[in-house]
Structure 1
């Protein structure tokens, strides 16, 4: 531990400077490699490891309405979009309800369901809450092996 107590930074720098100044046959080539190699590696990482793609210009189209639209048309459009959003929210809420039921978690959506019924009507709200049919399940490799070899005459 005694050697770490007295630091001679000035002496170390002087020794390093004396070492650098000694004429060696490949001194400048070594310095060139020592400086260029890390620069090339860092540049390569910055260029190719995390590539940056310049955003491409894109055209965004907006709905264009006639200047002669009446207030009733504007409000009807608002109501139509609000009903579409409410329907999507009701479908998503029903998915969350099924997920919570499968995990045994209490999930109370009664207030939101009441708003949905008031907004969309009983039939549409009930249809949004119905369970969607699950996609057909493919048999596993073990099930196919248990059934045995397929009949050669069947397609």
Structure 2
């Protein structure tokens, strides 16, 4: 059986023409809408747009240091910065200690064995630190072995 004998386009167009010739209300507006929808979609899909690449960013370097500083001035600046950093870290450690003491007081007030919990936490921290140290040593050994073998 041939494909062309199964599908007859001539009969389909004849049926469409007969259907369109029948007097129906709103026949022309509906026909216009049914043509406009796919044509509008095709029009939207076939529009080409080209975007220009963005401008390169302009970098402004802001320096708060005086130009031509001597090595001694740089050294003094570094020492002052280190002292400020240590002061911040000490303040942060004090706040952390106060927080721990507040939680301990709360735990004692609610009847928990805070000392046992602190011992368990210390043991767990020691385990984690030992594991981290073992990983560091392993990575250091692997890195130094690889550097020796590669040369």
Which has the greater radius of gyration? 2
The alignment's TM-score, normalised by the length of structure 1, stands at 0.28
Is the helix fraction higher in 1 or 2?
2
The alignment's TM-score, normalised by the length of structure 2, stands at 0.29
Higher relative contact order (CA 8 A, sep 6+): 1
